[in-house]
Amino acid sequence: MNRTVRDVMTPDVVSTSSETPIKDIARLMLWRDVSALPVVEGGRVVGIVSETDLVHHEEFAPERPGDEYHEPMRARLRRTLGSRGSAQRKARAENARELMTRDVVTVGPEETVVAAARVMARHDVKQLPIVDERGHLAGMLSRRDLLRVFVRPDGDIARDIGAAFAVAPAWLDPGRIRFSVDDGVVSLEGRVEQHSHCAILAQLTRGVDGVVGVHSKLTWDVDDMLPPRMPYTP
């Protein structure tokens, strides 16, 4: 069955306040090995500071004597150099409130993983704060978290396919179908009443999280997908 964000998100989230100094944010990212920090006030997400934000701050900031930025952070900043946009403004920032991105994209924990992935792709973000119905921070979703869907054990995938078939319409007769899962690839075997049922069963199988491919060896009694015959006229 389709997994929700709650199933794959990181609930143990490290966050920061709007008054946290830039250097403390950099140290915190290094310490926790994260690429973004949600900025929280009163439990609610008011912004997010990413590595890209720090890139802009460091790229355009003047040289500072006694700069205590660690070289690992500098190397990471160079690797993640992105678009400049409001980089000049960010270069003058001294704390999270002045550096953060305020227009934060969020989703709820009960949203499906597929829907969350589409939100991340549409807005081109690598980290997605997860908020509850009150807007309070409940977790973080990263692109790495999304990969968990594709590395599910075959046994879990097979269980969910069986559950999906159990609630499928009776006219599909899924009880006549045998299936196996090998490294996320599902093989379907058996005989159905109509040819069109094969496509429906394959689509039902592809809807299970973790399925990366479907090989159908299904056969049918009636080929209802043939074009209608034109009447013969001598």
Model pTM score: 0.62
Q: How many CB atoms lie within 10 A of CB 151?
A: 10
pLDDT (tens place) for every residue of the chain, 234 residues total:
668 899 899 998 889 999 999 889 989 998 988 889 999 998 899 999 988 788 766 554 544 544 544 555 555 544 544 444 455 566 677 898 988 888 899 999 999 888 898 899 899 888 999 999 988 999 999 988 888 887 889 999 999 999 999 999 999 989 899 999 999 999 999 999 999 999 999 999 998 988 889 999 999 999 988 776 666 566
Kind plus residue range of the DSSP H or E element containing 222: strand 213-222
Residue among 74, 71, 72 nearest 61 (CA): 74
Q: Is the distance from CB of 45 to CB of 74 less than 8 angstroms?
A: no
For the chain, list the domains and their CATH numbers. Answer: 5-149 (3.10.580.10), 152-222 (3.30.1340.30)
